[in-house]
Structure 1
Amino acid sequence: MKVAVIDLGTNTFHLIIAELTADDTSICYKTNLPVRLGEGKINDNFIIQEAFERGLLALEKFSLLIKEHEVELVKATATSAIRSAENGSSFVKAAKNYAGIDIEVISGDEEATYIFKGVRATGVINGTALIMDIGGGSTEFIICNKEELLWKKSYNIGAARLMQAFFHSDPITTADQNAITRHLDAELSDLKDVLNLYRPKHLIGSAGAFETFTGMLYPELNLKETKHYPIDIPAYKALSATFIASAHEEREKMPGLIRLRVDMIVMASILTDYILSAGNIEKLSLSTYDLKMGVLADLQN
């Protein structure tokens, strides 16, 4: 059966088309479009008109591709930006009317479960691990081993939310960094408790910013053919420090840093640094599989 999975993220809409058989998943086509759904007012829980229209145009393009590939089943999931927006339900209705796509708005818990299923499918989980998925609107944390999910939670501390609330200077000032740290201290107190309980030493970053970190540290690596990859922590920390100390114009010129992440990578770096320290993490890895592949894994079963 040919299926399409659409992930309507805060920054990017993703489409994967795959052929599912009884025991295999074969990717036929994949693409993404930068829609920046959280632009301007994500912390006011509102999708501005320009972003609303970009989202619908992206879904219209996806709809044409789905027809072209003769897809039999479409699974479209919406996460933080649509979940929290007061006009999110209006977007869901408009998507159905404009592009013929039915969207399921999933909870943070459901999002975390799909992320776990996607990451587990790479084979990277070995022992107790902490999975981290930095989105634009939310960030999910999952503590697990390869057999089961032990704990999960979604927090409204995505890169776009942090940027709109705290990124007041460029390069970001120490004062703004300290404000972010205080915010994370307040928001993530229960995460620290479970980190002390389960003591995972392996942090697995799910796609997104972690693909950027990995791609820039290991430019010879073909990420499209990679399911998971180890990241040297000292090398990551040096890269993170470079991002945090740099201005927008400098980051724009960095090879391997896509335009959509030029500013958000600063927030992703600060957040990742915080977790590495808070969890006393000893091992860091990339998983190129995330929510989308988790949805595919779910459909496979």
Structure 2
Amino acid sequence: MSNCIAVMDLGTNTFHLLIADVTDGTFNELARDHEAVKLGEGGINKGHIQQNAFDRGIAAMERFSSQIGQYNVKRVKAIATSALRSASNGTDFINTVKEHTGIEIEIIDGIKEATYIYHGVKAAGALSASTSLIMDIGGGSVEFIICTQDEMLWKQSFEIGAARLIERFHQVDPIPAEAIQQLHAYLDEILKDLFTAAKDIGVDKLIGSAGAFETFAEVLELEKQDDFDVKHIKTYDFDLDSFIRITDILIASSSQQRKAMKGIISLRVDMIVVASIITRYVMDKLNIKRVSMSTYSLKEGVMVVQALSLES
């Protein structure tokens, strides 16, 4: 028996919609959409969604609601993460969405977010018997999961997403060396729990979950071929030297240079710099030499959990 489910991932930078037909614990994608709402713009570190961002978010949800209405959807799951978790007017946003669309939004904590991300990356086939570190760089938070294909060994969410780091450290473009040093010092303090866990457990590989890692793959592949589309793949293995080269270029680049690069969507022109810095920082700290990417992330993980719940 099949069931149609709609899942929404309401992130700090982007709202995502995934509609799929679920049969026997697996899903077949019917529709996918996203909207760059920039919910944290101008206020993420102040804990308040600014009016323009608030309005963009409501408009996106109304559009998603219209799309959902085109399918025989049995269940709707809307998940909100860091921006709505920390915003003083997050409840106002949730109530307005319910009033305009009937959609009920569930705010999840960082640990549940990490769990969904794990299930998404696992569904992509990116995990193996060896120990990996999944890294999901969002606009508001970054999730780290140390895991194998069989189990999660450790997980934690940190409120150090790209939008937050840009506001604190990337006010001058290109980003100055002093700002990078300050960011490194900040991460030294914030990510102590990660480094302790990784040292105790051991990590063989870094797996980037969608987002910025899709951009890294797009930029590298579009240097070689004009018709590469990251959305047509589920996983991607980076060549280490190429990965180091492209992140070095991105960190040193100006906004205009990034805008001119094939593979960088407008939403990521700014965030890709801090995403590059934090990724390279974690790789250096943990001496990681293998890097890959999963295009499946939180929304696919939510879909997998929903599919399994229908079976039970």
Tell me which interval the TM-score lies in, with the shorter structure as reference length: over 0.9
* Corresponding position of 1:5: 7
Deviations 1:65-112 (CA, angstroms, capped at 9, x unpaired)? 000122121000000000011111111111101222100000000000
Candidates 176, 198, 212, aligned match of 1:195: 198
Asked whether the 8 Å contact 2:124–2:235 carries over to 1, the reply is: yes
Q: Distance in 1 between matches of 2:207 and 2:12?
A: 21
Residue 141 of structure 2 corresponds to residue 134 of structure 1: no
Q: Distance in 2 between matches of 1:300 and 1:272?
A: 32
Asked whether the 8 Å contact 2:26–2:304 carries over to 1, the reply is: no
SS in 1 for 2:237: strand
SS in 2 for 1:269: helix
Asked whether the 8 Å contact 2:21–2:27 carries over to 1, the reply is: yes
Matches within 5 A, 1:272-291: 272-291=279-298
Deviations 1:99-136 (CA, angstroms, capped at 9, x unpaired)? 22100000000000000000011121121100000000
Candidates 253, 272, 275, aligned match of 1:268: 275
SS in 2 for 1:39: coil
Instruction: Count the aligned residue pairs.
Output: 301
Cα offset, 1:199, TM superposition: 1.3
Cα offset, 1:48, TM superposition: 0.5
Matches within 5 A, 1:96-135: 96-126=98-128, 127-135=130-138
Identity %: 47
User: Which ranges of structure 1 fall in alignment gaps of 5 or more residues?
Assistant: none
Candidates 56, 64, 67, aligned match of 1:65: 67
Q: Distance in 2 between matches of 1:223 and 1:252?
A: 18
Residue 215 of structure 2 corresponds to residue 212 of structure 1: yes
* Corresponding position of 1:92: 94
SS in 2 for 1:130: strand
Candidates 80, 100, 103, aligned match of 2:82: 80
After TM superposition, the score normalised by the length of structure 2 is 0.95
Cα offset, 1:222, TM superposition: 3.3
SS in 2 for 1:169: coil
Q: List structure 1 runs of 4+ shifted beyond 4 angstroms.
A: none
Residue 230 of structure 2 corresponds to residue 223 of structure 1: yes
Asked whether the 8 Å contact 2:163–2:271 carries over to 1, the reply is: yes
Two-structure CA RMSD over aligned residues (Å): 0.9
Cα offset, 1:23, TM superposition: 4.2
User: Which ranges of structure 2 fall in alignment gaps of 5 or more residues?
Assistant: none
* Corresponding position of 1:143: 146
Q: Distance in 2 between matches of 1:53 and 1:23?
A: 36
Deviations 1:255-299 (CA, angstroms, capped at 9, x unpaired)? 111000001000100010011111111210010100000001101
Q: Distance in 2 between matches of 1:82 and 1:136?
A: 12
Which letter does structure 1 place at the counterpart of 2:19? I
Residue 281 of structure 2 corresponds to residue 237 of structure 1: no
Asked whether the 8 Å contact 1:201–1:279 carries over to 2, the reply is: no
Q: Distance in 1 between matches of 2:232 and 2:61?
A: 26
Deviates more, 1:216-225 or 1:21-30: 216-225
Deviations 1:184-229 (CA, angstroms, capped at 9, x unpaired)? 0010011111111111020000000000001111234432221111
Q: Distance in 1 between matches of 2:66 and 2:125?
A: 34
